[in-house]
Structure 1
């Protein structure tokens, strides 16, 4: 296997792991919300906890001097990193929660996952760069499959604010892929993720009222479907797996593939969320949803065949220990 093939294989692995990790947040985050947290408080806990884990992790893995040097090296890119935190992390989650509160959840998910379509439109219309036909076909197939997974025809109603919020979530998701794509080769994934999470935590602190967070949820047993689990264990899962691991692997995947390809592969997140909700919460899957999941995976497979040239990342870009769990 040549270097390009190895980089591509690593990028696909990172992208799929990221999608599954993001999708795994749904059942456990929902359990915390049902136990008494507001959606924005659960989001603030997730993002802030991840920032408090990742920043010391960067310093530990690199050593204090080298870690500080990494952050200083990222200083010229702070405007883009701040925009990433505000849009790709904080904005995407906040807009999605607003949409889900005013529209059927399936519609909110479908609106958010029009982000990769916006990525292709931005690349073609604004950057005036060629859009890989295979990636475009893969996105179209994945959108069709996602519509089947979320069953958009069930309980559809129009709400102007909910629709606007859903499209806002899509725009923020598109911004995540495009900004990370622009930072490729300039800032390593650890620094990108750490700075983005810190910015997002600060932004969410303004709207989530963390000082009123019901901390008593964490030490008590919380219902997860027909089972129970400690609230702190659920919080640890969404912080360490569905945020730290998810964003690290997501950034690494985009930097090794492209915004076009990684954006299409992210549709596997919706499939993972649906399957995990079925396993953890007992939410049943219909035949149409099962077929839709297969269509989503087919679209992701088609999209990943789009070959976008990438320079090989430096060997020190993301150490193996950074992803060890």
Structure 2
């Protein structure tokens, strides 16, 4: 993994938090919208491919304009763009859907969304960014809430599914770590555009060689009791849950850093439960509501811990004068 800059001072933290929430909420729409397409005969691979491809087409012009004619940041960061597209986009999507073919959705999501803990561990072991006690307490609250939200009663684990889910977790962790890079010179729009283009190309290759089955349907989709054309659902998936979600995610990571942004990202799970209720009529159980409150509390506590860390002045070592110097 390329060097992370999460330890550098950040500006615009309020805006970063708002952008992170927008990113989490827009990402969370993908599940309920995709579920409507699955019911009409769409395969997960087809939905993911079309979603990412539309996102790439929508964001790419803005990413090019953001460069202002200077393509040197792209040339300097080709490896980063390839890693972002391969891990943060393609691997995250492909590995998750591969995991749910072998295990239940709840455990797969729990493993994938353990990514904030992986981000914390990476920054601690690789960059010496040890989390404070408040941050650790927030991690514990959020983890407990995530277990309740996903409602894992009676869940079974499959070794192959666990391996794929861990792959998705690595992809999500890379997404947050690379979003937080402030030393690349790449505008957020350009990073998001490059990642989506690379991700779409890799997913298209997987579909072309038959590794990722792709089937679709022109049948309309039923959402929230309304009949919606399939193209409208696909457009929403591409523009909102890929284009807007990735752009705001990069912008949030630049302002917050990898660790805080990854924990705000847990709101995606809570928001997905809400949208499943709105669009699919899947009423959340009381235990899931309690879990959602715990996740929210954990995110708030983590943000407070990170803010306290930023306010702590650096330790200045006293200067020792050489012996005999007046």
User: How far off is 1:214 after superposition?
Assistant: 4.8
Q: Distance in 2 between matches of 1:112 and 1:82?
A: 21
Residues 195-241 of structure 1: per-residue CA shift (max 9 Å, x gap) = 10011011101213499855642xx4222364321111111111111
1:132-181, CA deviations, whole angstroms, 9 ceiling, x for partnerless residues?
443333222111101000111x2311211101111111111111111222
1:100 CA displacement: 1.6
Question: Offset of 1:14 from its aligned partner?
Answer: 0.4
Shift of 1:109: 0.9
Where in structure 2 are there 5+ consecutive unaligned residues?
Answer: 1-8, 312-326
The answer for unaligned runs of 5 or more in structure 1 is: 311-325
SS in 2 for 1:228: strand
Determine whether 1:10 maps to 2:15.
yes
TM-score normalised by L of structure 1: 0.86
Asked whether the equivalents of residues 63 and 191 of structure 2 are also in contact (C-alpha less than 8 Å), the reply is: no
Change beyond 3 A, Cα 1:210–1:39? farther
Contact 1:41 1:209 survives alignment (8 Å): no
1:47 aligned to 43, 49, 52, which one? Answer: 52
- In the TM superposition, residue 270 of structure 1 has moved relative to its aligned partner by 0.2
> Is 1:263 paired with 2:262?
yes
- Does structure 1 retain, via aligned residues, the 8 Å contact 2:222–2:228? yes
| Alignment map for 1:87-236 (pairs within 5 Å) | 87-152=87-152, 154-183=153-182, 186-209=185-208, 213-214=214-215, 216-217=217-218, 220-224=219-223, 226-236=225-235
Deviation at 1:129, TM superposition (A): 2.8
- Residue 31 of structure 2 corresponds to residue 26 of structure 1: yes
Which residue does the alignment assign to 1:247? Answer: 246
Of the structure 1 ranges 195-204 and 128-137, higher mean CA displacement relative to structure 2 is found in: 128-137
Does the 8 A contact of 1:27 with 1:280 survive in 2? yes
CA RMSD of aligned residues (A): 2.2
Structure index of larger Rg: 2
**CA offset at residue 40 of structure 1?**
1.2
Larger mean CA deviation between 123-132 and 285-294 belongs to: 123-132
Preserved CA contact (<8 Å) 1:138 1:264: no
TM-score (norm 2): 0.86
User: Which deviations, in whole Å up to 9, do the C-alpha atoms of 1:109-144 show, x marking residues without a partner?
Assistant: 111100010001111112233334433332221111
Greater Cα shift, 4-13 or 157-166:
4-13
* Deviation of 1:54 (Å): 1.0
Greater percentage in helix: 1
* Structure 1 pair 90–183 and aligned structure 2 pair: CA distance change class (3 A): farther
Aligned twin of 1:36 = 41
Alignment partners' CA distance in 2, 1:103 and 1:184: 39
For the residues of structure 2 that align with 1:192 and 1:286, how far apart are their CA atoms?
Answer: 39
Task: Note if 1:86 corresponds to 2:86.
Answer: yes
Residue 226 and residue 288 in structure 1: after superposition, are their counterparts in 2 closer, same or farther (change >3 A)?
A: same
CA distance in 1, matches of 2:197, 2:286: 42
